[in-house]
Chains A and B, each alone.
Chain A
Amino acid sequence: MTTDRLQLWEQLKLEGLASGGLGAAPDSSPWYVSLMLGVAAWVSALLALLASVVLLHFSVGEQFGLMAVLWTGSGIALLHAARTAGAFVAQLGLVAVLAGEGAAIAFFALQTEALQPTLLFSVILLLALLPLLPSATARVLNTLGACTCWVLLVSWALLGEPRDWRDAQTPGLGLALLVWALCWLPVLGAALAIVANETQWMARSAAPLLRALLIGLLVALALATPLSNPLAGLLIWQGGAISDGSRSWLALWPLLSLFTALIAAGLAFHQRSRSLLAVCLFGVLLHVGHFYLQLGVGLLVKSLVMLLVGAGLLLAARYGRRPEITEARA
């Protein structure tokens, strides 16, 4: 318990907002521990699924269904037990939950043999499990997964699957904007609503869930372009500008995503989370680079745009409102 916590508690008591002794601080992990555990659990779960296919020769839906129920159930139980049993049990539970979710998605995919219903099922499953998972890392991973599946569902449903994009006519401005808005405005709206109503929910039992949800949403917003169009987003050097004179309004996506990443950065700053802010600023750089490559104009125009934007930003920094640091209020 730090002096700051105690001082804060004493101040609350002085103002009549608190009474009695301060309870123990909740256990929380530094961001890099969560990152390491999350990555290790995710890879473990994928390999466990692969092992069940190759070694146990799982091939029919029922086998994956049984696996999904067993693993997800035991994973949730382990995550609950980990509150007293420690970090190792928590990691075991996380791997079991992730593998169980993967098995459930495989089960549904084998039953329906259709991509878009499977994506919709994934969104519903990942969001429905959120309240049952007592681990912040599991909740963040589920939120990120649900956002990715949602974006793929909407964009593939309205534009067709990426393998057809090269042959299909590129969408018009209206459709490109509509698809992007349907993909990302709900995510942005949810993040803004959570932050705007922070004081309403922080004393409630849903607070840990909403905190994890917010982290997942902000990471998704920061990395919107590669998530919404993985092939073009990750392989930006292959995306390229249209060189035959035709116009693809999909090139606007990274620009729009740039603005959402900036808003996400603002929300991360508002939450005083430096690690989230770093992710969002990385996302901003990614979107600028992506838009630069996608923009089908000459190098001269691009350079002039950069010079104008740069000059504008420098003028804003020079003549913008000067900070007047006022000392602490309490």
Chain B
Amino acid sequence: MRARGLARSGLDAMAAQVGLDAAGSARLLELAQARPAPAEWDAALRQFAQIAGVLAVGFGVVFFIAANWAALSPGGRLWLVQILFAGSIALALWRPSPRLLGRGALLLAFIGAGVLFALFGQNFQTGADVHELFQLWALLGLPLVIAARWSASTAAWLLVANVAIALYCGWLPGQHPLWQALGLLDDDAAALRLSFGLWPNLLLWALAEAGAARWPALDEAVPLWLRRLLLLVALAYGSIAACWVIVDSDGLAAAVLPPFLLACAGIVAWALHRRRDPLPLFAVAAAAIVLVCALLIEAVDDEALLAILPLWLLLASGSTASVLLPLARRWEGESHDH
């Protein structure tokens, strides 16, 4: 019997109720399978070694090229990375996903693809900006990630995609035509540009949430922890931009706040509709608490702020807990992981 998600505190309470001795407690842990079996240890260690090994080799090659930059010819550098890339692809074809070797090889190929794009841009002076490199990497690396159907690869892809988004929205990429067309090149529009980072992450979260229940392969590639991370990143973009326009009021609040609030309302509606994962409700509540803090900082003078701010944090977090915690306990049942 595997007592799914049974919290350790629940097992403690059971043991205490009947006053189990050490042998009885050990039997309880064994019956609940609360400790990993040797086979699980082996599997976890192999997976850890695989991911860590792939990352170490990938970055090792990058640093090796950087260390020998002057010694290697431009062609030599390209050949070195192309060999790594082609070798990884060959390995993935020989032992395709979902085998661990194939998945690791595809992750290595994804890292290699990014290095290849960077070297290409460096050698041939394409004039591409850094954000374009990351955009290209995310776009062209997507087939490798889809082929891997592995959370580690998806996490790497999301990291690259979000670096591209952060560079594009958060850091002014010269006179980019899109920002020019929208009239958002001005420094004052920085918060509005940053707020756009919310949408791709939110869209990916919604798609993954909707699809994960239907397609197990998608759930495997974008598991719950990654979907939660996507949502938190989306809310982080929105919250930072919203706080920015509140504190540094420059007339853009009307363009940033309503879409963000709309997005928050959508997240809450989705979570209440699904009644599975309470984290989105808490994340939106946390964003609201931070937003009101920004409003208080802007509206109240310094001395009064020192009295009001801790009071607000206490009231808001306490109220959130008392309203949402029963809901969370009901939805999560006994699957609390702590």
A and B interact: yes
Decide if B9 touches A211 in the complex (CB within 8 Å).
Answer: yes
Decide if B309 touches A275 in the complex (CB within 8 Å).
Answer: no
Name the prevailing secondary structure of the A interface residues.
helix
Interface centre among B14, B20, B23, B41, by most chain A C-beta atoms within 10 angstroms, is B14
Decide if B316 touches A317 in the complex (CB within 8 Å).
Answer: no
The answer to the question of A193 belonging to the interface, with a C-beta cut-off of 8 Å to chain B, is no
Q: What chain B residues lie within 8 Å of A305 (beta carbons)?
A: 60
A44 to B14, alpha carbons, bound, how many Å? 36
Stretch at the interface among B45-53, B160-168, B244-252: B45-53
The answer to the question of A274 belonging to the interface, with a C-beta cut-off of 8 Å to chain B, is yes
Map CB proximity to A onto B38-66 as digits: 1 under 8 Å, 0 otherwise.
01111111110110111111111111101
Decide if B336 touches A28 in the complex (CB within 8 Å).
Answer: yes
Decide if A87 touches B322 in the complex (CB within 8 Å).
Answer: yes
B305 to chain A, nearest CB (A): 9
Interface residue tally for chain A (C-beta within 8 Å): 94
A298 to chain B, nearest CB (A): 7
The answer to the question of B12 belonging to the interface, with a C-beta cut-off of 8 Å to chain A, is yes
Stretch at the interface among B178-186, B192-200, B264-272, B326-334: B326-334
Decide if A328 touches B1 in the complex (CB within 8 Å).
Answer: yes
The answer to the question of B325 belonging to the interface, with a C-beta cut-off of 8 Å to chain A, is yes
The answer to the question of B126 belonging to the interface, with a C-beta cut-off of 8 Å to chain A, is no
The answer to the question of B176 belonging to the interface, with a C-beta cut-off of 8 Å to chain A, is no
Decide if B313 touches A300 in the complex (CB within 8 Å).
Answer: no
Decide if A198 touches B6 in the complex (CB within 8 Å).
Answer: no
The residue on B at minimum CB distance from A316 is: B49
A298 to B64, alpha carbons, bound, how many Å? 11
| Number of A-B residue pairs with CB-CB distance less than 8 Å in the complex they form | 293
Q: What chain A residues lie within 8 Å of B187 (beta carbons)?
A: none
B306's partner among A7, A33, A51 (CB-CB below 8 A) is: A51
A312 to B306, alpha carbons, bound, how many Å? 55
Interface centre among B45, B307, B310, by most chain A C-beta atoms within 10 angstroms, is B310
A211 to B320, alpha carbons, bound, how many Å? 25
A173 to B95, alpha carbons, bound, how many Å? 46
A20 to B279, alpha carbons, bound, how many Å? 36
Decide if B7 touches A28 in the complex (CB within 8 Å).
Answer: yes
Q: What chain B residues lie within 8 Å of A329 (beta carbons)?
A: 30, 33
The answer to the question of B36 belonging to the interface, with a C-beta cut-off of 8 Å to chain A, is yes
Decide if A203 touches B325 in the complex (CB within 8 Å).
Answer: no
Q: What chain A residues lie within 8 Å of B19 (beta carbons)?
A: 203
Q: Indicate whether A321 sits within 8 Å of B42 (C-beta atoms), given known contacts A47-B309, A307-B60.
A: yes
Q: What chain B residues lie within 8 Å of A215 (beta carbons)?
A: 338
Decide if B56 touches A318 in the complex (CB within 8 Å).
Answer: no
Decide if A8 touches B3 in the complex (CB within 8 Å).
Answer: yes
21 example contacts (A-B, Cβ-Cβ < 8 A) are as follows A11-B1, A17-B24, A33-B321, A33-B324, A34-B338, A36-B285, A40-B313, A54-B306, A202-B8, A202-B11, A203-B21, A207-B9, A207-B12, A211-B8, A270-B36, A305-B60, A306-B59, A309-B56, A311-B53, A325-B40, A330-B1
Residues of A within 8 A of B (CB): 2, 4-5, 7-9, 11-12, 15, 17-19, 22-23, 25-34, 36-37, 40-41, 43-45, 47-48, 50-51, 54-55, 86-92, 95, 136, 198-200, 202-205, 207-208, 211, 215, 269-276, 278, 298-300, 302-307, 309-314, 316-318, 320-326, 328-330
Taking A31-B337, A92-B314 as known contacts, 14 extra A-B pairs with beta carbons closer than 8 A to each other, sorted by chain A number, are A8-B31, A51-B307, A91-B317, A200-B22, A202-B25, A207-B15, A211-B9, A272-B36, A278-B225, A302-B63, A303-B61, A306-B56, A313-B49, A323-B42
